[in-house]
Amino acid sequence: MQIYKVGGAVRDRLLGKPVTDIDWVVVGATTEEMLAKGYRPVGADFPVFLHPKSGEEYALARTERKSGRGYGGFTFHASPEVTLEEDLIRRDLTINAMAEDDQQNLTDPYHGQRDLEERILRHVSPAFAEDPLRVLRVARFAARYAELGFKVAPETLELMRQLSESGELEALTAERSWKEISRALMEDQPQVFIQVLRDCGALKVLMPEVDALFGVPQPEAHHPEIDSGIHTLSVLEQSALHKQPLTVRWACLLHDLGKGLTPQEEWPRHIAHEHKGLKLIKAVNERFKAPKDCQELALLVGQYHTHGHRALELKASTLLELLQSFDVYRRPQRFEEFIVACEMDARGRKGLEQRRYPQADYLRGAANVARGVAVQPLLEKGFKGPELGEALKRERLKALKAYKESAAS
């Protein structure tokens, strides 16, 4: 029995990056031997065991063969005869197909170390094209390592393009797709993930609503970058630069989908794109079964982001309606995330990345004013039920009018 550290732990050590998760492969062992040493079995599809002390996962070396569609369409074979090289060749990228023994001796049959040095994301074997999930994974790695100068090898991009055209991507489950998408959006350069998906034709399959934004112009006076797709990538980039949470990044990706529906004869204006985009945002939300908080914020940002940009011009009554829509009294964090999504949208414009966004503090102040209206005095006046709600609304409107006047003076 020989035990090797494999995959990301080897890759990241060689890159000088922190190693978080460690994958172990056991060569030359049987299930019975693992059980005899106290390992606990956890794998349903293939033999994976938990270490009796550390709890880390140890997998028996295995080979795999395509047997159906999608990510799960494989049959696995694990036995003591499977070599380390045979186990490594089934992996996605050469930089993930290296192994180390306990003395840090490197096994690198597919030249992963060379590709690390040359900053190339290259597939290990033609079997890469059998697993559609790898399209998303490679795009995610491109986003993760973009700052180090990594690029997808042309021949690997071609395989990704073939996979995108094959219909295999449609076989991915919503859960598996969302896991990759959400992880990719939380990388330092999530816009690279979207760009790589577009480069290989996968974006058109997975998110045609986002893909449709590219080539759609916007008024140059407000959007010097002009192209709606480029703008979306820039907004996503800003959300990462400002360390925003997943909810905000998801909303930034989907906020302008309505512009993809504007007839060409109306370009570059996009009248009512906020409302038109809601059905598209809803469709993307449902396709990937995004978490509820991501879904809600994406819809709200899509509908109201131009309200955010025009916050200083809004009537007090419109401002109150906006606050009510977000339920700022019970869900203050959601409104804060809306504000920063609007700010990322404003910053995601060529040459305007550093421009101040006074609307943010103005909206925060308005929310504080509305929340500050006390209920107790109204109860003491005898208001209750629907009348109490109307009275509270009147008092909040009065307070917002005063706030608006003081802000203008």
Instruction: Please identify, among 110, 129, 153, the residue that sits at the C-terminal boundary of a domain.
Output: 110
Instruction: Please identify, among 93, 110, 127, the residue that sits at the C-terminal boundary of a domain.
Output: 110
Q: Is residue 282 part of a domain?
A: no
| pLDDT value of residue 72 | 53
Whether the Cβ atoms of residue 271 and residue 240 lie closer than 8 Å to each other: no
| pLDDT value of residue 224 | 94
**Averaged over 145-171, what is the pLDDT?**
96
| pLDDT value of residue 348 | 97
According to DSSP, residue 260 is labeled G
Q: What is the mean pLDDT of the chain?
A: 94
Q: Residue 99 is part of which domain span?
A: 1-110
Question: What is the count of structural domains for the chain?
Answer: 2
Q: Is residue 102 part of a domain?
A: yes
Q: 220: how many CB neighbours lie within 10 A of its CB?
A: 11
pLDDT digits over 175-233, tens only? 999 999 999 999 999 999 999 999 999 999 999 999 999 999 999 999 999 999 999 99
Backbone angles phi, psi at 40, to 5 degrees: -105, 125
| pLDDT value of residue 208 | 98
| pLDDT value of residue 162 | 94
Q: Is residue 59 part of a domain?
A: yes
Q: Is 22 left (phi over 0), alpha (psi -120 to 50) or beta?
A: beta
pLDDT digits over 324-370, tens only? 999 999 999 999 999 999 999 999 999 999 999 999 999 999 999 99
**Averaged over 288-301, what is the pLDDT?**
98
Distance of CA 2 to the CA centre of its chain: 38
Q: Is residue 44 part of a domain?
A: yes
Q: Report the percent of the chain where pLDDT is more than 70.
A: 96
- Residue 169's Cβ-count burial label (10 Å; 0-12, 13-18, 19+) is buried
Instruction: Please identify, among 59, 77, 110, the residue that sits at the C-terminal boundary of a domain.
Output: 110
Q: Is residue 248 part of a domain?
A: no
Q: Is residue 55 part of a domain?
A: yes
Q: Is residue 351 part of a domain?
A: no
CA separation (Å) from 18 to 9, 137, 318?
Answer: 9, 20, 49
Which H or E element spans position 58?
Answer: strand 57-60
CATH classification at residue 97: 3.30.460.10
pTM greater than the 0.95 cutoff: no
pLDDT digits over 46-98, tens only? 789 999 999 999 999 988 765 455 555 556 788 899 999 999 999 999 999 99
- How big is the chain, counted in residues? 409
Of 90, 94, 81, 104, give the one whose Cα is nearest residue 13: 104
pLDDT digits over 220-247, tens only? 999 999 999 999 999 999 999 999 999 9
Q: Report the percent of the chain where pLDDT is more than 90.
A: 88
Q: Is residue 404 part of a domain?
A: yes
CA separation (Å) from 253 to 232, 234, 296?
Answer: 6, 10, 14
What is d(CA 396, CA 370) in angstroms, rounded to the nearest whole number? 5
- Residue 255's Cβ-count burial label (10 Å; 0-12, 13-18, 19+) is buried
